[in-house]
A and B are shown apart, each in its own frame.
Chain A
Amino acid sequence: MGVKFENVTKMYPGARPAVNDLSLEVQSGELMVLIGPSGCGKTTTLRMINRLEEPTGGTISIDGRDIESYDPIQLRRGIGYAIQQTGLLPHMTVEQNIELVPKLLKWDEKRRHERTRELLEMVAMDYGTFAHRYPRQLSGGQQQRVGVLRALATDPPVILMDEPFGALDPLSREVLQTELKRLQAKLQKTIVFVTHDIDEAMRLGDRIAILRDGQLLQVGTPDELIRTPQDDFIAKFIGRFLVLSKAPVDSVQQFMQTVAVRIQRELPQGGRIVQIADVPLWFWIDDEGVLQGVAGEVPEGADQWNSVNWTNGDAVCVRETDSPDEVFGRLADEEAEALPVVDEGHRLVGIVTRRSAIRTLSGALRRVEA
C-alpha cells in the first residue's frame, strides 16, 4: 500500500506554510525517510497521513483512496504509529500496551496474547520476562522496541515513525536501527520515517526525502543523493558521505592478497589444491591455474581429498576487473570470510579477505579524517 501526497499544503494561521505544495509518492513496501532541519515540516507531513493534522490543501491517498474518505479513528487504527518518547502508557504492562489497538478492534484474548508473544520474539524479548513488566521497568532501548512492536501489533500495511530512536544513546540506537532493517526486510511494510539524523536516514532509507521550510527539495535513494545532490544545501546536508561513498582504491588488485600460496597437494589427475595466506579456504586449480572449485573445509588425511565438497569456483569468485565497491559489498553481505580473485582467463590470482577490506577502508577513513 503506497502513500501519495498530491500538492499538499498545511498552513497555520499567521505563519508561513508548514508544508508547501508537497507531492511525493511512497511506494508500497518502501521505507521512506523524511529529513530536514527542524521546522522543515517533516513531522507535520507525517502527522497528516494519519490525520493528526489536516492538510489545508491538496490530497493524501493511501492505496489510491483519499484519506479524507476514512473515519479518522478507523484510519488511525489501520496505521502503525511510533514516536520518539515511546508514548507507552506507564500504567499498562508491556503486553497491555502492545495489545491496546487489537483490544480496541475487539480481538479475542487468545489471539492478542499470541500476537504479543510473536512480536516480542521478533526482537528477542522473552515473553515470560517482559510481557508483564511496566514501561518504567525497562531500559530505554527496550521501551523503544516495545513502542515499535505496538505499531506493528495489528500488522498494519503502513507504519509512521516519528524519530523513534531519537532519545536513545548511540549504541542502542544503532542496535535498534539494525533490528528495524532486519524486520523491514522480512515484513516489507510501507514505512514513513521522520528523523533529523542523516546517518540514520542513510542507514535505513530505501529513499530519502529532504525537506526545508515546508518544501520538498529532493527525493532519491541514498546513493542518488550522494552522487547527484541537486544543490549545495543538499550536498552540505549529506556532506560527509561524499568522501566515503567513493571507493578508496581503484581496483581489486590494490587490496588483494597474493602472498604465501601454499600448495597442499598435487592431484594425480592433474591440478592442485592451494591455500593462500593461511585463510581457511581451499582452492582447486587445474594445470593452467584455472579455478575449478572452492571448499571451506578439507579432511585431514590426504587419501580423503576425493570426498571434498567443492563449490563451483565461478559462482563465488571475484574478477580482477570488478569494481572495488562491489567487492566490499560482497564481503560484507556474504557468509565467506574471503573470496578468490581470478583474471580474465579464470586463473586464480589471489584472494580478497574481510580483513584486507577493513584495513583498506580504515586506511581511507584515516586519510579522510586527516
Chain B
Amino acid sequence: MSWLADFWSTYGSQILPALGQHLILVGVALASGIIVAVPLGIILTRFPRWSSPIIAVVSIIQTIPSLVFFALLIPIIGIGLQPALLVLFLYSLLPILRNTYIGVRSVDPTLLDASRGQGMTSWEILYMVELPLSAPIIVAGIRLAAIYLVSWATIAALIGAGGLGDLIFSGIDSENTNLLLAGAIPTAFLALIIGFVFGQVRRLVTPRGLRAEVVTKRDLRTEVVVG
C-alpha cells in the first residue's frame, strides 16, 4: 500500500488533470457522435437505398489508423484540442450509426403495420414503437463507441490534445515506467468503468416487457385455464 501511496503522491497531481482532459475529449466527441449518428441512423432506415453507401464511407473512416488520421489532419486544421475532437468524433460515428440503423430496422414489421393500421403517424411510430424497441441496440453501439474513444483519446496526446496519453507518451520518452503506468492504469480503469456504466444504461433502457425476468415469470396456472 505504501507503494501506491508514494505513487499517488508523486503522480496524483498529474493524473487528475489528465483524467479530466481525457474525459472531456471522450465526452465531447461521444456526445457529438450521438447527436449526429443517431438521427442519421434513423434517417437511413427511411432510405434503405442510401444506407449501404453511407455506412461504407463511415466504415472507411474507421479503417484509417488513428495515427495516420491525426497526421493527415495536422496540415489542414493544425494541432491541439479541436483536431483531436474532430477525429474522435468521426471515429465514434460508425458504431452508433450502424447500431441505430440495425436496431430500428430490426423492429418486427408486423408491429409497424399494426401501428400504422391503428392510425399512428410515422413520428408517433418512431418514438412510441421503434425507438423504445431499438434502444438497447442503440445504447450497445454508444457503449462500444465510448470504450473505443477512451483508448483512441490516448493517441490524441500526440497532437497536443492532452489527456492520459500525455503521461503514457512522456513515460515512454523518458523511460519512466511509473509515469507510463500513471497514464495507462487510469485509462484501463476508465474503459472498464465506462463499459460498466453503459452496460447498466443498456439494461435500464431495455423495455420491461422484453426483459428476461418478466418473460419467464409467466403464471402457468392462468395459461391452462384461460388458454
Contacts and interface: CB of A to CB of B under 8 A. Distances in A.
Interface of A: 47, 50, 52, 72-79, 81, 83-93, 100-101, 104, 124-125, 129, 134-137, 139-142, 150, 160, 171-172
A239 B116 CA distance: 37
B112 to A, nearest CB: 9
A144 B216 CA distance: 20
Given A52-B116, A91-B208, A137-B218, 20 more contacts: A75-B119, A76-B116, A81-B114, A83-B117, A89-B129, A89-B209, A90-B209, A101-B119, A104-B119, A104-B120, A104-B124, A135-B209, A136-B209, A136-B214, A137-B215, A139-B223, A141-B226, A141-B227, A142-B226, A172-B227
B4 interface: no
12 contacts: A81-B118, A83-B117, A87-B115, A90-B209, A91-B132, A91-B209, A101-B119, A104-B124, A124-B226, A134-B208, A134-B214, A137-B217
Contacts of A52: 113, 116-117
Contacts of B219: 137
A341 B128 CA distance: 63
A140 B218 CA distance: 13
Nearest to A137: B218
B212 to A, nearest CB: 10
Closest 3 CB pairs of A and B: A87-B114, A91-B207, A76-B119
B52 interface: no
Of the candidates B116, B209, B214, the one having the most CB atoms from chain A within 10 angstroms of its own CB is B209
Given A75-B119, A139-B227, A141-B227, A92 B209 contact: yes
A93 B208 CA distance: 9
Nearest to A93: B209
Of the candidates B108, B114, B218, the one having the most CB atoms from chain A within 10 angstroms of its own CB is B114
A125 B226 contact: yes
B9 interface: no
A73 B226 contact: no
Interface string B116-149: 1111110010001100110000000000000000
B60 interface: no
Interface string B197-227: 0000000000111100011011100110011
A87 B119 CA distance: 13
A220 B220 CA distance: 43
Contacts of A172: 227
B13 interface: no
B111 interface: yes
B110 interface: yes
Contacts of B121: 73
Nearest to A125: B226
A130 to B, nearest CB: 8
A72 B207 CA distance: 30
Contacts of A93: 209
Interface in B147-195: none
A93 to B, nearest CB: 7
Given A129-B222, A139-B226, A139-B227, A91 B120 contact: no
A137 B215 CA distance: 6
B129 to A, nearest CB: 6
Contacts of A87: 110-111, 113-115, 117
Contact of A83 (B114, B120, B207, B223): B114
Contacts of A84: 110
B119 A91 contact: no
A100 B209 contact: no
B13 to A, nearest CB: 48
A17 to B, nearest CB: 22
A87 B110 CA distance: 6
A90 B117 contact: no
A83 B115 CA distance: 11
A24 to B, nearest CB: 20
A92 to B, nearest CB: 7
Interface in B96-115: 108, 110-111, 113-115
Nearest to A92: B209
Contacts of A72: 119
A4 to B, nearest CB: 20
Contact of B110 (A47, A77, A85, A101): A85
Of the candidates A77, A125, A134, A172, the one having the most CB atoms from chain B within 10 angstroms of its own CB is A134
Nearest to B219: A137
Interface in B57-73: none
Contacts of A90: 111, 133, 207, 209-210
Contacts of A135: 209
Given A73-B119, A90-B207, A142-B226, A137 B114 contact: no
Contacts of B110: 83-85, 87
A74 B217 contact: no
B118 A100 contact: yes
Contacts of B214: 134, 136-137
